[in-house]
Amino acid sequence: MKVLFTYDYGTEKMTKVKQLGYEIIYKYEGTIENTPDIEDIDILICYNPFSRLDISKLYNLKWIQLSSIGIDQVPKDIVLKRGITVTNNKSGYSIPIGEWIVLKTLELYKNSRKFYKNQENKIYKLDTSLLELYSKTILFIGTGSIALEAAKRFSGFGVKIIGINTSGRNVEYFDECYPLEKLNDVLNTADVIVLSIPSTDKTYHLIDKERLKLFKRSSFLINISRGNIIKESDLIYALKEGIISGAALDVFENEPLSIDSPLWDLDNVIITPHNSWISEMRNERRFSITYENLKRYINGEPLKNVVDITKGY
């Protein structure tokens, strides 16, 4: 079986794949294009080559393993028409993103951004506006593996953790969970709202002007999922007018964030460049998931992290 990698995991790891019985082809994702040597591949291991690579011309392609959690980049019409299996990197980035959520929550509560600016300007000044996280309520909109890792880390802070998911099912480390249709009922109970829900047609602009009005004025919003879950213009208005206290944003409706965006100039916003998933373990974890699935595939066993293309996650 032929497998096309668009990322080189190094000699040792690629040799392990060959030892499973695969023929490996490597093409750098940034310059990949359709060529005769890849048209009969069985498996594609990649992040997002789809703007350069027409998978409809890969006549033998049966399975795509993504290095991402999100599947926005996948040409869903071709995948559905051809019956191609898609698996993702669910749980592969959950630990660093979970840590990032805790970090940014504390930075918002302790006004770290102001201290960093003061340090740059050599200003030694007490800030008496700092808050405690203790006894606050944290709401996760989406209770998947990322939310679970963050909730696990919050459990030592003396906070109440509530979650929103499709059915309202109970999730470990959460005190309460509610179905998505109850979102409006619980928004005003939360001090911190974390968006950790997949990007789908149903979640597009889930957070808009009307929902932002339901937030506590003292609340903070954290987004590590996808930028289009928030209507960005409405969020900017809410941040400027004090409808919410602040936000930590790692994702945006359009990336990279335009230099003209008003978000850059707001003192109550922390901006990072879609960076929350990064850690020194990222390659180890995504290769581990890839390798496990390659073993399963060649042995005819069920794959891990199979995505429902119609649902979007």
Q: Is 226 a catalytic residue?
A: yes
pLDDT in tens, 97-114: 999 999 999 999 999 999
Q: Is 255 a catalytic residue?
A: yes
Task: Report pLDDT for 8.
Answer: 97
pLDDT in tens, 213-256: 999 999 999 999 999 999 999 999 999 999 999 999 999 999 99
Task: Report pLDDT for 209.
Answer: 98
Task: Please report which helix (H) or strand (E) contains residue 87, including its range.
Answer: strand 85-87
Residues 101/151, Cβ–Cβ less than 8 Å: no
Which residues share a beta bridge with 192? 138, 220
Q: How far apart are CA 225 and CA 75, in angstroms?
A: 20
Residue type, 244: I
Q: Which of 132, 210, 241, 255 is catalytic?
A: 255
Cα torsion 132, 133, 134, 140 to 10°: value is 160
Helix boundaries (H) for the chain: 11-19, 76-82, 94-110, 112-120, 145-154, 183-186, 209-212, 232-240, 282-298
pLDDT in tens, 238-250: 999 999 999 999 9
Q: Which CATH class is domain 94-271?
A: alpha beta
Q: Which of 274, 282, 292, 296 is catalytic?
A: 274
Q: Is 33 a catalytic residue?
A: no
Q: Which of 226, 232, 285, 286 is catalytic?
A: 226
pLDDT values of the chain reduced to their tens digit, one per residue, 313 residues? 999 999 999 999 999 999 999 999 999 999 999 999 999 999 999 999 999 999 999 999 999 999 999 999 999 999 999 999 999 999 999 999 999 999 999 999 999 999 999 999 999 999 999 999 999 999 999 999 999 999 999 999 999 999 999 999 999 999 999 999 999 999 999 999 999 999 999 999 999 999 999 999 999 999 999 999 999 999 999 999 999 999 999 999 999 999 999 999 999 999 999 999 999 999 999 999 999 999 999 999 999 999 999 999 9
Q: How far apart are CA 208 and CA 7, in angstroms?
A: 37
Task: Please state the pTM of the whole predicted model.
Answer: 0.94
2-92+280-298: CATH superfamily = NAD(P)-binding Rossmann-like Domain (3.40.50.720)
Domain with CATH 3.40.50.720 in the chain: 2-92+280-298, 94-271
With CA atoms as reference, report the closest residue to 104 among 7, 231, 223, 5. Answer: 223
